């Protein structure tokens, strides 16, 4: 069995030397100035061992990775009825695409494209004030990560709220099909804020442990979701977690994963083995962390973790 500590350190060293770092996203002004040289990797085994290297304790904007946790919460609230509000098929479209929505009459293709995540946020918001819904999402994140220090970066949320015209358009368009229950401003306010949760690789890998371990926190034994639900969330991450780059990610890495465009992070799950978080702000053409994907490909290969075999 390869030595996980060594593999993680080797990969971080290799990534530090690479020049192909991708392009940092600029569409959220507050995030445009992140250091493209940053790189962090943290792996938490289901046996509790931690292997981390690089900037693994530096907090970054998790952006769309938060959608894994809002999906988990919304399924907890309304169960399989959620699938009437949002599909679970890969979109083959960019993260903020509007084209499919017209054909599909306001029902987004999956919970991880922006339109789908906005619909999921709307489900969590129903029956609450935006502040309560946001508090619930943040507390859930703190619970699964076992870390009450996790916060929301208000400057990032405000920056996206000022400039997120595409998301505002998506939400209004869905509202025109009656596909949102709450006022558009309320749903978007909660959405922008949960995307602005700030976490380090280590905190994020901690938060993902339940998905690697049949829905339970392997350290405390607390159940977060039933094993069947963890399996299904992993399935949606595998097929939809990287937007129109999901096929390429499955082909190269072979693990369920969810990327965040703005911050450049990826959460990946090796079922039964480990929860992994990687951060490198430069993106590839599909808006996924370039070196994050390269590092995960190396990790999965060297540890023999691809779900498709060696």
* C-beta pairs of 18-21 under 8 Å, 24+ apart in sequence: 18/291, 18/294, 20/290, 20/291, 21/280, 21/282, 21/290, 21/291
Residue 260 as a binder of ligand GLU (CB under 6 A): the answer is: yes
Distance separating alpha carbons of residues 164 and 146, to the nearest angstrom: 31
Tokens of 154: 């208000």
Residue 90 as a binder of ligand GLU (CB under 6 A): the answer is: no
Distance separating alpha carbons of residues 57 and 206, to the nearest angstrom: 12
Tokens of 259: 């990327």
What single DSSP character describes residue 216?
A: B
Q: How close are the terminal C-alpha atoms of the chain, in Å?
A: 13
Binding test (CB under 6 A) with ligand GLU, winner from 39, 60, 69, 95: 95
By three-state DSSP, how is residue 44 classified? strand
- Least spacing, CB of residue 5 vs ligand GLU, in Å: 30
- Least spacing, CB of residue 2 vs ligand GLU, in Å: 31
Which of the following is catalytic: 8, 61, 243, 300? 243
Residue 64 as a binder of ligand GLU (CB under 6 A): the answer is: yes
Tokens of 236: 């949606």
Residue 96 as a binder of ligand GLU (CB under 6 A): the answer is: yes
**Only segment of 8-16, 39-47, 101-109, 257-265 that touches ligand GLU (CB under 6 A):** 257-265
The answer to whether 261 is a known catalytic residue is yes
Q: 45 or 262: whose CB is closer to ligand GLU?
A: 262
The answer to whether 306 is a known catalytic residue is no
Q: 69 or 305: whose CB is closer to ligand GLU?
A: 69
Which chain residues interact with ligand GLU by CB under 6 A? 63-64, 95-96, 114, 160, 167, 195, 260-262
């Amino acid at each position: 069995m390869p030595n996980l500590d060594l593999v993680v350190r080797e990969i971080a060293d290799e990534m530090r030397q690479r020049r192909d770092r991708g392009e940092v996203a600029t569409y959220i002004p507050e995030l445009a100035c992140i250091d493209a040289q940053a790189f962090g990797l943290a792996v938490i085994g289901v046996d509790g061992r931690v292997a981390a290297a690089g900037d693994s304790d530096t907090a970054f904007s998790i952006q769309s990775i938060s959608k894994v946790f809002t999906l988990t919460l919304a399924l907890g609230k309304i169960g399989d009825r959620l699938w009437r509000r949002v599909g679970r098929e890969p979109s083959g479209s960019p993260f903020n695409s509007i084209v499919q929505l017209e054909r599909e009459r306001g029902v987004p293709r999956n919970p991880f494209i922006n339109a789908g995540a906005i619909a999921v946020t709307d489900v969590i918001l129903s029956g609450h004030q935006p502040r309560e819904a946001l508090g619930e999402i943040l507390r859930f994140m703190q619970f699964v990560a076992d870390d009450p220090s996790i916060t929301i970066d208000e400057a990032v949320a405000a920056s996206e709220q000022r400039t997120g015209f595409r998301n505002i358009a998506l939400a209004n368009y869905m509202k025109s099909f009656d596909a949102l229950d709450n006022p558009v401003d309320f749903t978007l306010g909660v959405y922008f804020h949960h995307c602005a949760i700030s976490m380090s690789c280590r905190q994020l890998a901690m938060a993902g442990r339940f998905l690697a371990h049949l829905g339970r926190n392997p350290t405390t034994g607390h159940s977060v979701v039933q094993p069947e639900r963890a399996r299904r969330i992993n399935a949606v991450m595998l097929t939809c977690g990287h937007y129109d780059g999901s096929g390429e990610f499955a082909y190269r890495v072979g693990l369920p994963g969810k990327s965040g465009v703005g911050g450049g992070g990826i959460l990946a799950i090796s079922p039964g083995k480990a929860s992994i978080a990687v951060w490198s702000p430069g993106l590839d053409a599909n808006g996924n962390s370039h070196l994050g994907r390269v590092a995960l490909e190396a990790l999965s290969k060297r540890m023999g973790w691809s779900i498709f075999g060696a």
